[in-house]
Amino acid sequence: MSAHQPSELIYGLEDKPAPLPAFLTALQHVMASLVGIITPPLIVSAALGLNAYLPWLISMSLMVSGAGTFIQARRPFGIGAGMICLQDTSFAFLGAILSAGFAVKSRGGSPEQIMAMIFGITLVAAFIPVVVSRFTGQLRKIITPLVSGTVLCLIGISLIKVSIIDWGGGHGAKSFGAPHNLLIGLLTLMTIVIFSRARNSWLRLGAVILGISLGTLLAALGGGLHWQPFTHSWIALPQPLRFGFDFDYALFLPIALISLICILETAGDLTANCLISRQPVEGEQYTARLKGGIMADGVSCILAALFSALPSTTFAQNNGVIQMTGLASRRVGIWIGGLLVVLGLFPTFGAVIQQIPAPVLGGATLVMFGSVLAAGIRIMTQAPLTRRDMLIIAVSFGIGLGIDAEPDFLSQLPPMVKNLFGSAVASGGIAAMLLNLLLPKESAESTVCQPAAATERRSG
């Protein structure tokens, strides 16, 4: 949205809407974010064999998202942006978290030990945005749009593989690649695509939910829905460090790198939110919102790690809901937080979500993970790409995707080095950062990729 064309707001940031419109608007935000909150625990659980704890993981994810959203809106002690900033379970961390989980699993670790490691390293990494929120300006000089865009592209490409595995039937499925699995995943994907292009804003808002619902129904009609019994308590109360605490420096460093990238992504989301909510995007007030919002991201991630949920960061898609409804009052954020916490109290909700067949999940997440890749491309190409930029992208992609395609490439190196550089995100991201710092910028450098408007100006 352009800064020169702000949305027409029915309720401004500090307005107090009546309970009914506030509740209905909050419900739309929850519907828009629900799939994003619950999908990461679904993927991690299926890949690492944590299904016995999945309803709990989903409940905690909902609770932490609700608590984080409340903090962002309420802004206690200056922590939070003071806007509707829905905290969503982040897809960006998935690749590094799965790598850490597989590393523990390869050592013979139990599901509890896997989660102790995952939540241990994410707890330590959660303090990074808390500290960096004080130095946001300096960080942007190191992690430029070129670096962050490259890392986001690598994250999206790495996660697409996870979607394809689910689409085929899931890890180790006897029917992997069966035609009915491929068909169900395809119909789910096409449903989401069709509804995403609908003129009706409600259909666009619920496209992912409608696609998953239709896919699950088709799977049930075809005998592909296998109900798993519910064996958990009816109420879920948070338990700090339920699975203990473990830590490994080599597994931590990729998570730390992604934490830095997510800070810049959050800064962009907060800026867009300020524009839509008709708030300044420069000056002391803007800086205070930015710092408070990034710190709240860190606090949300700390709560997530403490209470067995994956890292939670600001969710950009809810800016679209603000624009659609014309309701930017931060009091709606308090309603959103309450609704999510209530949903998280009941593991039965997570148990129902657990029944989604893998092909349906694969078809749906392909859209989400493809969107991560597309966002990375958009960030990289904000400015014309120079020959230096193209060289950084080429080397970073080559190293990251090459190591991801052939993990044995690092098999003769020490375990710490192998774990650190064993993922596309870590190896490619570190390469991009180092090259961006080391390669000199040339003032008269020619551009390789330029926006069409710039080309037209020159030709004219």
| CA atoms of 352 and 365, how far apart (whole Å) | 18
Q: What is the mean pLDDT of residues 13-27?
A: 84
Between 292 and 325, whose confidence is greater? Answer: 292
Contact 316, 3 (CB under 8 A): no
Give a three-class secondary structure readout of the chain.
CCCCCCCCCCECCCCCCCHHHHHHHHHHHHHHHHHHHHHHHHHHHHHHCCHHHHHHHHHHHHHHHHHHHHHHHHCHHHCCCCCCCCEEECCCCHHHHHHHHHHHHHCCCCHHHHHHHHHHHHHHHCHHHHHHHHHHHHHHHHCCHHHHHHHHHHHHHHHHHHHHHHHHCCCCCCCCCCHHHHHHHHHHHHHHHHHHCCCCHHHHHCHHHHHHHHHHHHHHHCCCCCCCCCCCCCCCCCCCCCCCCCCCHHHHHHHHHHHHHHHHHHHHHHHHHHHHCCCCCCCHHHHHHHHHHHHHHHHHHHHHHHCCCCCEEECCCHHHHHHHHCECCCHHHHHHHHHHHHHHCCHHHHHHHCCCCHHHHHHHHHHHHHHHHHHHHHHHCCCCEEHHHHHHHHHHHHHHHHHHHCHHHHCCCCHHHHHHHCCHHHHHHHHHHHHHHHCCCCCCCCEEECCHHHHHHHHC
Q: Specify whether 233 is located in the same domain as 106.
A: yes
In this prediction the pTM is: 0.72
Phi, psi values for residue 449, rounded to 5°: -125, 120
pLDDT, tens digit, for every residue of 302-338? Answer: 999 999 999 998 876 676 677 766 788 889 899 999 9
Within-domain flag for 456 = yes
Portion of the chain with pLDDT greater than 70, in percent: 86
**Which of these, 126, 88, 120, 127, lies nearest to 103 by C-alpha position?**
120
Q: Specify whether 334 is located in the same domain as 449.
A: no
Within-domain flag for 401 = yes
Between 4 and 364, whose confidence is greater? Answer: 364
What is the model's pLDDT at position 46? 84
**Which of these, 324, 301, 298, 326, lies nearest to 311 by C-alpha position?**
301
Between 343 and 420, whose confidence is greater? Answer: 343
Confidence label for 450 from pLDDT (cuts 50, 70 and 90): low
* Count of CA atoms in the C-beta half-sphere (13 A) of 311: 30
Between 449 and 394, whose confidence is greater? Answer: 394
Q: Specify whether 330 is located in the same domain as 459.
A: no
The yes-or-no verdict on residue 115 having pLDDT over 70 is: yes
Q: Specify whether 134 is located in the same domain as 268.
A: yes
The yes-or-no verdict on residue 232 having pLDDT over 70 is: no
Contact 253, 57 (CB under 8 A): no
Contact 339, 91 (CB under 8 A): no
Q: Specify whether 407 is located in the same domain as 336.
A: no
What is the model's pLDDT at position 452? 46
pLDDT, tens digit, for every residue of 76-106? Answer: 988 998 998 889 888 778 888 988 999 899 8
Phi, psi values for residue 134, rounded to 5°: -80, -15
Q: Specify whether 263 is located in the same domain as 131.
A: yes
The yes-or-no verdict on residue 397 having pLDDT over 90 is: yes
Averaged pLDDT of the chain: 82
Portion of the chain with pLDDT greater than 90, in percent: 22
What is the model's pLDDT at position 379? 76
Within-domain flag for 12 = no
pLDDT, tens digit, for every residue of 356-383? Answer: 888 888 888 788 778 778 877 887 887 8
Q: Specify whether 421 is located in the same domain as 452.
A: yes
What is the model's pLDDT at position 283? 75
What is the model's pLDDT at position 130? 92
User: Given 326, 360, 394, which residue is the final one in a domain?
Assistant: 360
Within-domain flag for 55 = yes
- The sign of the CA dihedral 396, 399, 405, 410 is negative
The yes-or-no verdict on residue 418 having pLDDT over 50 is: yes
The yes-or-no verdict on residue 120 having pLDDT over 90 is: yes
Q: What is the mean pLDDT of residues 136-163?
A: 77
Number of domains making up the chain: 2
Within-domain flag for 163 = no
Confidence label for 453 from pLDDT (cuts 50, 70 and 90): very low
Q: Specify whether 115 is located in the same domain as 234.
A: yes
Confidence label for 5 from pLDDT (cuts 50, 70 and 90): very low
User: Given 327, 360, 393, which residue is the final one in a domain?
Assistant: 360
Q: Specify whether 141 is located in the same domain as 237.
A: yes
What is the model's pLDDT at position 190? 93
What is the model's pLDDT at position 110? 92
Between 443 and 96, whose confidence is greater? Answer: 96
Within-domain flag for 419 = yes
Report helix angle 179-196 to 358-380, nearest 10.
50
Between 300 and 283, whose confidence is greater? Answer: 300
**Which of these, 370, 344, 306, 25, lies nearest to 163 by C-alpha position?**
370
Confidence label for 7 from pLDDT (cuts 50, 70 and 90): very low
Q: What is the mean pLDDT of residues 53-70?
A: 91
pLDDT, tens digit, for every residue of 166-218? Answer: 888 877 778 888 898 899 999 999 998 898 788 876 677 677 778 888 988 88
Residue 148 tokens, joined: 């962050």
Confidence label for 62 from pLDDT (cuts 50, 70 and 90): very high
What is the model's pLDDT at position 324? 66
Within-domain flag for 134 = yes
| CA atoms of 332 and 360, how far apart (whole Å) | 32
What is the model's pLDDT at position 329? 87
**In which domain, by residue range, is 283 found?**
19-154+225-360
What is the model's pLDDT at position 176? 84
| CA atoms of 415 and 109, how far apart (whole Å) | 16
* Count of CA atoms in the C-beta half-sphere (13 A) of 167: 19
Q: Specify whether 248 is located in the same domain as 351.
A: yes
Q: Specify whether 457 is located in the same domain as 313.
A: no
| CA atoms of 372 and 346, how far apart (whole Å) | 30
Within-domain flag for 231 = yes
Q: Specify whether 245 is located in the same domain as 331.
A: yes
